[in-house]
Structure 1
Amino acid sequence: MPEILLDIQNVSYTYGNGKKALDGVNFTVTAGEFVALAGRNGSGKTTLTRLAMTLLKPVGGSIHFQGQSTAALTPADMARSIGYVFQNPDRQIFRDTVLKEVAYGPEQLGFSQNDVSNSVNWALSMTGLTELTDSFPRSLSRGQKQKVAIASALAMRPKMLILDEPTSGQDPWDAQNLMNLLTSLNKEGITIILVTHDMELIARYTGRAVVLDQGRKVFDGLPDELFGGSLDIEAWGLVPPAALALSRRLPGVHAKSAAELVELLGSAIRQGRERYA
């Protein structure tokens, strides 16, 4: 049975202004999962991930990672187990070369010089940044900066990555490259929690979707079930992927992305031409 990594039980959080951000949320993630965390703005997604990293502390309930309570742990403690990638990579990039940036985390965690070198080289290789080691990170493209942030997290050898809207502001090509990278990392055994507003990414790449609305968990299951048409997801501020919604109106077609829909329709047209040639 897969190991439970993150166990959030009946967690609530209220900000200083009295706004309740989370109300009795239960959320468990097992090793090897690729989970999407979705919901409209203000639903509690980012608050939940910040609680997981102990950047915030719950006012009610409990959080455990690998069976250990996080109540007394600091963000530095959690960085050994969970890599957190912010929506804006500029918020976590501050060194003058890609190599130094990626090395910062393992150095701060006390890795030996040999372990730092091995971890950095592995992280750079996994993210395709090996040729950019001497580059100034802030001069890179948005997509490359995001990869630097991911490599910096990977270099600390975490069991889990949490990414907050990592494709925001990227063109479709960079977004696809990033999602392919996350898929590869997941196949390597790294557990992924993807915070996203992009329903196509959820349908195409993730194995499970968790939806928050007004601080409560309202859905936890397969993306196919979320977008299957039996749930009023619009009430939660979600809209099904256009390609998926359209394909369900076409007999024999089930596409999770626009690219897949175009490919399936093209194949159907070719088959029709061959049949009547």
Structure 2
Amino acid sequence: MIEAKEINFAYRRGIPVLFDINCKIEDGEFVALLGHNGSGKTTLSRLFMALDHPRSGQILVDGEDIINYEPADLADKVGYVFQNPDLQILADTVYEEVAYGPRVKKLPEENIKTNVKAALQAMGLKGLEAKYPRILSFGQKRRLGVAAALALNPRMLILDEITNGQDAAEQAAMMEYLKALNEEKGTTIILITHDMNVVRKYARRAIVLTDGRLVFSGTPEELFEGDQPVERWGLRRPVVSELASRLGVSAASCEEFCEEVRKGGAAL
């Protein structure tokens, strides 16, 4: 569980970024953290991982204030994947990059091999173990960052714009894997994204920030199919939500929408 209590934050130049943020993410949730560029969502996620610390208020992980924590103290609880994958690359091969965290945690070498193999397989990077990470494509680097987080088997994953740079098949494979991880292992997923179609299909709750303030917390259905001012918050309704709303059906994906239409749920 991660909880923000009355969080205020400003960077060194003194300009406030977050104002009185209160939210709680329970174990096993799949949450989308949304907002326009500069809304504060990445900053809030960095506080969750102790990459930064609030000016006032508390960040609690499993009920414990993490004000004196460093990211390494939380690595086996909270995995963090940066928006810029180059910021995470530390090793000279793909294998060593994914093995880095488990080695820091002094896991047995046999466990490390098992975890690395599984993480690379899950992210479609099998066969690239000996490659130099910095020559990978942008999309591969993103998946490498996810693999490195997965190798520590964290209970929570914070993923910042990980679908960028992926083609449709890669994006679908990654999101289906995360969905399975959430549903089968109970891993908490916090997804920062601008892709509202991904939010509508996979997230079970959406948290929206605008100009550093929390303005919405609820289901994607409530966000996209109600009267929320999503455009004013810098968001766009998913195409499927627009169509479903106009035709009087409820659907989280194109597949569900087509099925509802096929069954005669819409008056065409």
In structure 2, the partner of 1:185 is: 181
Unaligned runs of 5+ in 1: 273-277
Residue by residue over 1:118-150, the C-alpha shift from the partner in whole angstroms, topping out at 9 and shown as x without a partner, is 322332333343333233333433333222111
In structure 2, the partner of 1:254 is: 250
| Deviates further, 5-14 or 83-92 | 83-92
Q: Is the 8 A contact 1:12 1:60 kept in 2?
A: yes
In structure 1, the partner of 2:223 is: 226
In structure 1, the partner of 2:45 is: 49
Aligned pairs (5 A) from 1:70-109:
70-109=66-105
In structure 2, the partner of 1:148 is: 144
Once the two structures are TM-superposed, the CA of residue 226 in structure 1 deviates from its matched residue by 0.6
Higher Cα Rg: structure 1 or 2?
1
Backbone CA RMSD of aligned residues: 2.0
| Distance across 2 between alignment mates of 1:93 and 1:185 | 24
AA in 2 matched with 1:62: Q
Inter-CA distance 143–259: structure 2 relative to 1 (3 Å threshold):
farther
Q: Paired residue for 1:38, among 34, 39, 45? A: 34
| Distance across 2 between alignment mates of 1:126 and 1:181 | 7
In structure 2, the partner of 1:23 is: 19
| Distance across 2 between alignment mates of 1:89 and 1:16 | 24
AA in 1 matched with 2:182: N
Q: TM-score, normalising length from structure 1?
A: 0.88
| Deviates further, 207-216 or 166-175 | 166-175
Q: Is the 8 A contact 1:241 1:256 kept in 2?
A: no
Once the two structures are TM-superposed, the CA of residue 52 in structure 1 deviates from its matched residue by 0.9
Q: Paired residue for 1:161, among 157, 163, 171? A: 157
Q: Paired residue for 1:245, among 236, 242, 246? A: 242
| Deviates further, 160-169 or 255-264 | 255-264
Secondary structure of residue in 2 paired with 1:211: strand
In structure 1, the partner of 2:134 is: 138
Secondary structure of residue in 1 paired with 2:114: helix
Q: Is the 8 A contact 1:37 1:193 kept in 2?
A: yes
In structure 2, the partner of 1:214 is: 211
Once the two structures are TM-superposed, the CA of residue 258 in structure 1 deviates from its matched residue by 4.2
Q: TM-score, normalising length from structure 2?
A: 0.91
Secondary structure of residue in 2 paired with 1:129: coil
Secondary structure of residue in 2 paired with 1:235: coil
Q: Is the 8 A contact 1:143 1:178 kept in 2?
A: no
Q: Is the 8 A contact 1:143 1:175 kept in 2?
A: no
Identity %: 45
Q: Paired residue for 2:64, among 65, 68, 71? A: 68
Once the two structures are TM-superposed, the CA of residue 112 in structure 1 deviates from its matched residue by 2.4
Inter-CA distance 166–255: structure 2 relative to 1 (3 Å threshold):
same
| Distance across 1 between alignment mates of 2:12 and 2:125 | 41
Number of equivalent positions: 264
Residue by residue over 1:223-264, the C-alpha shift from the partner in whole angstroms, topping out at 9 and shown as x without a partner, is 10011232122221112112211221114x333334544565
Unaligned runs of 5+ in 2: none
AA in 2 matched with 1:44: G
Residue by residue over 1:72-109, the C-alpha shift from the partner in whole angstroms, topping out at 9 and shown as x without a partner, is 11111121211110112222124232211110111112
AA in 1 matched with 2:230: I
In structure 2, the partner of 1:275 is: none
AA in 1 matched with 2:250: H
| Distance across 2 between alignment mates of 1:68 and 1:118 | 31
| Distance across 1 between alignment mates of 2:200 and 2:137 | 27
AA in 1 matched with 2:80: Y
In structure 2, the partner of 1:173 is: 169
